[in-house]
Amino acid sequence: MMRFASLGSGSKGNATLITAADTAVLVDCGFSVKETLLRMARLDFAPERLTAILVTHEHGDHAKGVMALSRRLKVPVYMSAGTAIALDCIADVQVRVIDLHQSFALGDVHVHPVAVPHDAREACQFVLSFGEQRLGILTDLGHVTPHVVSAYQAVDALILEANHDPEMLAVGPYPPSLKRRVGGPLGHLSNGQSAELLSQIDLQRLQRVVISHISEQNNDLSLAESVLAAAIPGHEAKLQINLQDTGFDWCQIQPL
Ligand SMILES: [Zn+2]
Ligand SMILES: [Zn+2]
């Protein structure tokens, strides 16, 4: 059985836990080690169970605590060469450089990296599978590419970015350069772009969509939820929110 939970999501830090049989993977660690351990305890997760850390890209909200946590727990870190160079850790013994065109196994979990358009050196996201069960993690991309649409078909659960509402971003407090970055093709998905992705994927197996990386200043939770709900008629009850402070509690993928 595959289970997943979030330690928190948003521009101040992201980290997602996935467990399946004896494997436990952390995707990103944008919190300090102390904060990460506190949040793991909140989820009743024993840190010594961790098998590996996967990193999507070098931005601080995803990578801040990665190397320190890896050393503390003595677990390897998997990331693209570009991310390792950007984090200046390519020679670190704990780092395993991955090829974004190549799937690989981490114990019982199969990892399928997906390259995404984002303003980082070599950003990716991941689809993780355990037997037939597939969990997609998809945040930090400026637009949805055909490669993304095909990689996330028929997932059982999806952790999906709905970062901003374009109008709220336009009139919001960010300086013009940051507005252009966030709303641009290498920035973050708007509610509408996330809805567009949902409308393009096969919903047959879909059990859960966790709305994530929501901007606290340029979005509104109920607005994001309603825009995504409109894209998946009949499946609205599967939507759930991932918050910066509380993340979300364990969610188990049910066998079909
Ligand atoms: Zn981010
Ligand atoms: Zn980012």
Q: Judge whether residue 239 has pLDDT over 90.
A: yes
Q: From the CA of 120, which ligand is nearest?
A: 2
Residue 117: pLDDT band by 50, 70, 90 thresholds? Answer: very high
**Nearest-ligand number for the alpha carbon of 161:** 1
Q: Is residue 252 part of a domain?
A: no
Alpha carbon distance 115, 196 (integer Å) = 19
Q: How far is the CA of 256 from the centre of ligand 1 (A)?
A: 32
Q: Is residue 217 part of a domain?
A: yes
**CA 57 to centroid of ligand 2, rounded, Å:** 7
Q: What is the pLDDT of residue 177?
A: 97
- Does residue 86 form part of some domain? yes
Cα 52 to ligand 1 centre (Å): 20
Q: How far, in Å, is the centroid of ligand 1 from the Cα of 140?
A: 5
Percent of all residues in the chain with a pLDDT value above 90, rounded to a whole number: 98
Q: How far is the CA of 255 from the centre of ligand 1 (A)?
A: 31
Asked, for residue 91, whether it belongs to a domain, the answer is: yes
Tokens read off for 10? 């948003």
Model confidence band, residue 202 (pLDDT cutoffs 50, 70, 90): very high
pLDDT of residue 176: 97
Q: How far is ligand 1, taken at its centre, from the CA of residue 62, in Å? A: 6
CA of 141 from ligand 2 middle (Å) equals: 8
CA pair distance 231, 145, nearest whole angstrom: 18
User: What is the domain extent for residue 58?
Assistant: 2-243
1 Cα to the center of ligand 1, angstroms: 28
- Distance from the CA of 10 to the center of ligand 1, in angstroms? 6
Residue 255 falls within a domain, yes or no? Answer: no
Question: Domain count of the chain?
Answer: 1
Q: What is the pLDDT of residue 102?
A: 98
CATH number of domain containing 203: 3.60.15.10
251 in any annotated domain: no
CA of 98 to the centre of ligand 2 (A): 19
User: Which pLDDT band, with edges at 50, 70 and 90, does 256 fall under?
Assistant: confident
Decide if 107 is inside a domain: yes
Q: Considering every ligand atom, which ligand is closest to the CA of 13?
A: 1
Residue 202 lies in a domain: yes
Coil, helix or strand for 204? coil
> Residue 162: exposed, middle, or buried by beta-carbon count in 10 A (0-12, 13-18, 19+)?
buried
Mean pLDDT of 106-113: 97
Which ligand minimizes its atom distance to the CA of 142?
Answer: 2
Confidence of residue 28 (pLDDT cuts 50, 70, 90): very high
Please give the average per-residue pLDDT across 180-208, as a whole number: 97
pLDDT of residue 208: 98
**Cα dihedral sign, 141-146-150-153:** positive
Sheet holding 2-8, edge to edge: 95-98, 77-80, 52-54, 23-27, 15-20, 2-8, 248-252
In the reported structure, the alpha carbon of residue 115 is separated from the centroid of ligand 2 by a whole-number distance in angstroms of 13
Question: Which residues fall within 8 angstroms of residue 31, CB to CB, at 6 or more apart?
Answer: 7, 8, 13, 15, 39, 64, 65
Ligand 1 center–CA 217 separation, angstroms: 14
CA of 231 from ligand 1 middle (Å) equals 24
pLDDT, tens only, 65-106: 999 999 999 999 999 999 999 999 999 999 999 999 999 999
pLDDT at 35 (0 to 100): 98
User: Could you read off the pLDDT of 40-72 as tens digits, one per residue?
Assistant: 999 999 999 999 999 999 999 999 999 999 999
